[in-house]
């Protein structure tokens, strides 16, 4: 069984790295063959705003995990985020994060929540992460109107 203090520390490190946009050395926490599954409620028309990488990704080692997170972090940067708690039980953990981001191209402001579920191996390495993101609001940038 995995020590819950260790899993909590790893989840905090991974969550902070992803939300702050600095992957650092989190790739070391993943076992070769780790699965990352990402889903959201973003419609196809939201794709340019959300800049997501949806689907299932099998990471075949630390180098591939590092490349995956580097690419993911290039696509999404957050203005603000609030980690809403971590629950650890046996070899599983869950977390929730509320966030706000601005699309660099259009200035659109997007707010949402992402739920994270982690599964660990007996040696406290991440076997899988499943995420489900929910966009709450998409607020387009208002252009100033000319007054004659």
The per-residue pLDDT for range 31-80, each reduced to its tens digit, is 999 998 888 776 544 554 445 567 788 888 888 888 888 887 776 778 89
What number is the average pLDDT over the span 13-26? 87
**pLDDT tens digits, one per residue of 68-85:** 888 877 767 788 999 999
Measured in degrees and rounded to the nearest 5, phi and psi for residue 9 equal -60, -40
Q: Give Cα 19 to chain centroid, integer Å.
A: 7
Task: Give percent of the chain above pLDDT 70.
Answer: 86
Q: What is the 3-state secondary structure (H, E, C) of the chain?
A: CCCHHHHHHHHHHHHHHHHHCCCCCHHHHEEEEEEEEEEECCCHHHHHHHCCCCEEEEECCHHHHHHHHHHHHHHCCCCEEEEEEEEEECCEEEEEEEEEEECCCCCCEEEEEEEEEEEECCCCCEEEEEEEEEEEEEECCCCCCCCC
């Amino acid at each position: 069984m995995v020590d819950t203090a260790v899993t909590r520390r790893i989840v905090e490190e991974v969550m902070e790295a992803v939300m702050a946009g600095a992957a650092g050395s989190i790739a070391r926490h993943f076992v070769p063959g780790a699965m990352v599954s990402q889903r959201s409620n973003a419609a196809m028309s939201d794709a340019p705003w959300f800049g997501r990488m949806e689907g299932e990704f099998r990471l075949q080692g630390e180098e591939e995990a590092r490349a995956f997170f580097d690419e993911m972090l290039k696509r999404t940067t957050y203005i603000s985020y609030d980690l809403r708690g971590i629950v650890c039980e046996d070899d599983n953990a869950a977390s929730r994060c509320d966030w706000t981001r601005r699309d660099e191209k259009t200035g659109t402001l997007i707010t949402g929540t992402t739920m994270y579920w982690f599964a660990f191996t007996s040696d406290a390495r991440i076997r899988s992460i499943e995420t489900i993101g929910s966009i709450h609001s998409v607020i387009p940038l208002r252009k100033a109107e000319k007054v004659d």
